[in-house]
Amino acid sequence: MLKVHSITLREISLPLKEPFKISSGVTTDRRILLLELSDGEGTSAWSECVAAEWPNYFYETVDTAWLVICRYVAPRVIGRALQSPSEIRQLLDKDFRGHNMAKAAVEMGVWELEARRRDIPLSRLLGGVRERIEVGISIGIQPSPEALVEKAEAYLKEGYRKIKMKVMPGADLAYASAARRALGSGAPLMVDANNAYTLDDIETLLALDDLGLLMIEQPLAWDDVVQHAVLQEKLKTPICLDESITGPERVRDMIALGSGRIVNIKPGRVGGFATSIAIHDLCEQEGIPVWCGGMLESGIGRGYNVALASLPNFHFPGDISPSARYWNRDVVTPEWTMDPDGTMALRLDKPGTGVDVDRELIDDLTVRVEVLTAETFAKEAPE
Ligand code: OSB
Ligand code: MG
């Protein structure tokens, strides 16, 4: 019987090779919350919370997630006998609103723990069918259109199968037009605005619409599906929703209202793998293609995204770049790599994500640790 005996929280600080700028802020050093779940019988699994340092992409942060996991998530999971990791989702959603990133860190860790206990790849436990996934890159906002073009051309040459560029007012049309001209009309190019626009910016959005982009990701408010529908009606280019999709209900709203035609699934944003699979299945039935987004994860969270992206309805390359694109040294061995054809191989010869953590490196990077067991909660809340 599957049971989580303990959860160790750790915060590490991992410097990005270069700062990553989106419309709402810039990340230089990635503060990352890692979890180690143990079954108390010799098997353990590492997982990663995707929350960032600041609440500029989503309302959760490393600090809120730390608190929420310790106070509200872990007590519901530790010591509970489970038939399957798919039970965690209901356990965490009952009378417990939001905080998907905190919930997902534990939920995904339980799937990884189960995969390792059963000695099977995480991908196959989730219903994945692929041996390789297609890789895309997300380029942060650059100082000039020329700087962007130089990067985009180099990445295309490296093999990346999708080029996503971040945009914001002041760094949009000139940048995207320059990229389109340089890469050619057939290149798989898209933009992601992270909510930088409103319907008042319709002229800019209509001009972007003429660039033959694969999609325009989350141009309007982070929690909106109504104004996106007004916008989608005016655009030929499909809108892809990221921030707004927090579960299958929002996908149903998107379809009913016509707010978008493509969904970016980030398992951390939607509360974990069970919800990601539910969204994947719903979108497959409804003819909506999905792809796997990224949150500048270390190799631990990257392994989760790789496993998820091996499901059949993932129809665009994910924001799942190789380790070396982000870090001088990743926290897993072997690191995640991309082949010259722009694909990444799953590691199906090993259990779970197929990579091992570099404990020594993680110890060096750790800034705080907390260990949670059933005893922790017995002390805090005596009967
Ligand atoms: O909107 O997809 C996003 C990174 C941080 C926050 C939000 C987003 C992103 C990315 C990076 O686009 C994707 C990656 O991990 O490479
Ligand atoms: Mg996005």
Q: How far is the CA of 294 from the centre of ligand 1 (A)?
A: 5
* One-letter-per-residue 3-state SS of 167-211: CECCECHHHHHHHHHHHCCCCCEEEECCCCCCHHHHHHHHHHHCC
Residue having the nearest C-alpha atom to atom 1 of ligand 1: 194
* Nearest ligand 1 atom to alpha carbon 295: 15
For a substitution probing ligand 1, which of 241, 319, 323 has the most ligand atoms within 8 Å of its CB? 319
Separation between Cα atoms, residue 77 and residue 91, nearest integer Å: 8
Which atom of ligand 1 is nearest the CA belonging to 27?
5
Q: Whole-prediction pTM value? A: 0.97
Mutate to test the pocket of ligand 1, among 54, 296, 297 (most ligand atoms within 8 A of CB): 296
The answer to whether residues 156 and 21 belong to one domain is no
Which atom of ligand 1 is found nearest the CA of 326?
A: 16
> Going by CA atoms, what residue is nearest to atom 6 of ligand 1?
295
| Nearest residue (CA) to ligand 1, atom 9 | 295
Specify the pLDDT at position 381.
56
**CA separation (Å) from 122 to 112, 136, 272, 315, 352?**
6, 22, 13, 20, 4
Cα 134 to ligand 1 centre (Å): 16
Ligand 2 centroid from CA 217, angstroms: 6
Ligand 2 geometric centre to CA of 265 (Å): 10
Looking at the domain assignment, is residue 1 inside a domain?
no
**The predicted structure's pLDDT at residue 379:** 72
Task: Give 35: exposed, middle or buried? Use CB within 10 Å, 0-12, 13-18, 19+.
Answer: buried
For residue 376, give its domain range: 6-119+357-380
| Cβ 108 vs Cβ 273: under 8 Å | yes
CA separation for the pair 40, 104 (Å, rounded): 21
| Residue ID of nearest Cα to ligand 1 atom 5 | 295
> Is there a single domain that holds both residue 49 and residue 94?
yes
Could you tell me if 361 and 287 lie in one domain?
Answer: no
Alpha carbon distance 55, 40 (integer Å): 35
Cα 363 to ligand 2 centre (Å): 31
The three state secondary structure string of the chain is CECECEEEEEEEEEEEEEEEEECCEEEEEEEEEEEEEECCCCCEEEEEECCECCCCCCCCEHHHHHHHHHHHHHHHHECCCECCHHHHHHHHHCCCCCCHHHHHHHHHHHHHHHHHHHCCEHHHHHCCCCCEEEECEEECCCCCHHHHHHHHHHHHHHCCCCEEEECECCECHHHHHHHHHHHCCCCCEEEECCCCCCHHHHHHHHHHHCCCCCCEECCCCCCCCCHHHHHHHHCCCCEEECCCCCCHHHHHHHHHHCCCCEEEECHHHHCCHHHHHHHHHHHHHHCCCEEECCCCCCHHHHHHHHHHCCCCCECCCECCCCHHHHCCCCCEECCCCCCCCCEEECCCCCCECCCEECHHHHHHHEEEEEEEEHHHHHHHCCC
236 in a domain, yes or no? Answer: yes
| Whether residues 161 and 251 fall in one domain | yes
Predicted pLDDT at 378: 86
Looking at the structure, tell me whether residues 263 and 131 fall in a common domain. Answer: yes
- CATH number of the domain enclosing 367: 3.30.390.10
Say yes or no: 66 and 172 in one domain: no
Same-domain check for residues 58 and 87: yes
- Tell me the catalytic residues: 166, 266
Around ligand 1, the residues with Cβ closer than 6 Å are 22, 57, 138, 192, 194, 242, 293-296, 319, 321
Using an 8 Å Cβ cutoff, are 175 and 197 in contact? no
The CATH number assigned to the domain holding 323 equals: 3.20.20.120
Ligand in closest contact with the CA of 52: 1
**Nearest ligand by distance to the CA of 24:** 1
Q: Answer yes or no: do 172 and 237 share one domain.
A: yes
**Domain annotation covers residue 98:** yes
For the chain, what is the domain count?
2
At residue 327, the pLDDT reads 98
Query: Nearest C-alpha to atom 4 of ligand 1 is from which residue?
Result: 295
pLDDT-flagged residues of the chain (< 70): 380-383
Interatomic CA distance for residues 175 and 233, integer angstroms: 25
Smallest CA separation from ligand 1 atom 12, residue: 138
Is residue 76 one of the residues assigned to a domain?
A: yes
pLDDT, tens digit, for every residue of 283-313? Answer: 999 999 999 999 999 999 999 999 999 999 9
